[in-house]
Amino acid sequence: MKMRPAPLLAAVIIGTGALLGVAYAGFGISIKALTAAAIRSEAGFAKSPIDDRPATMMRMVAQTNAQTMGEVKVLERYTDDCAKVVLSLIQPDALKRDGSRGVLQVNTQLNVCTNGQPYKVSRK
């Protein structure tokens, strides 16, 4: 009787890869959580992989599976929970118009609080 361990080994490898894929897909935080972390930190800076809808859309536009990175830097604090921040979304390995690959970076400036609500700056 012949032993056929190859299918079992293949199933274990595929199963392990699927588990690692699920764990990797869940790695990262939302833009809101990253922004709150930067506002609460004394350094006024936070950087982390992003795993939410805007990051998914960036990966689709850039035609890549590389992890989207997010950076938030506090420019000015209004209160303990509100600040003016610069949010940068960085997508490595993005497809360029000429067919080569490079980095796609989108920057925006926000007046925001840790609860995600916009902060209204009074003009004097």
Within 13 Å of residue 1, how many CA atoms lie on the same side as its CB? 2
46 within a domain of the structure (yes/no): yes
Q: Is the pLDDT of residue 23 over 60?
A: no
100 within a domain of the structure (yes/no): yes
User: Which residue segment(s) compose the domain that 93 sits in?
Assistant: 29-113
13 within a domain of the structure (yes/no): no
123 within a domain of the structure (yes/no): no
pTM: 0.74
78-118 per-position pLDDT tens digit: 999 999 999 999 999 999 999 999 999 999 999 999 999 99
40 within a domain of the structure (yes/no): yes
Residue identified by tokens 């916009």 is 118
pLDDT bucket at 20, cuts 50 / 70 / 90: very low
Using an 8 Å Cβ cutoff, are 74 and 104 in contact?
Answer: no
Q: Report the chain's terminal Cα–Cα distance, integer Å.
A: 89
79 within a domain of the structure (yes/no): yes
Average pLDDT over residues 40-69: 95
4 within a domain of the structure (yes/no): no
- Whole-number Å distance between alpha carbons of 47 and 113: 18
Give the distance from CA 34 to its chain's centroid: 9
3-class secondary structure, 73:
strand
38 within a domain of the structure (yes/no): yes
Domain count, the chain: 1
Residue identified by tokens 């000015």 is 76
- Whole-number Å distance between alpha carbons of 37 and 41: 6
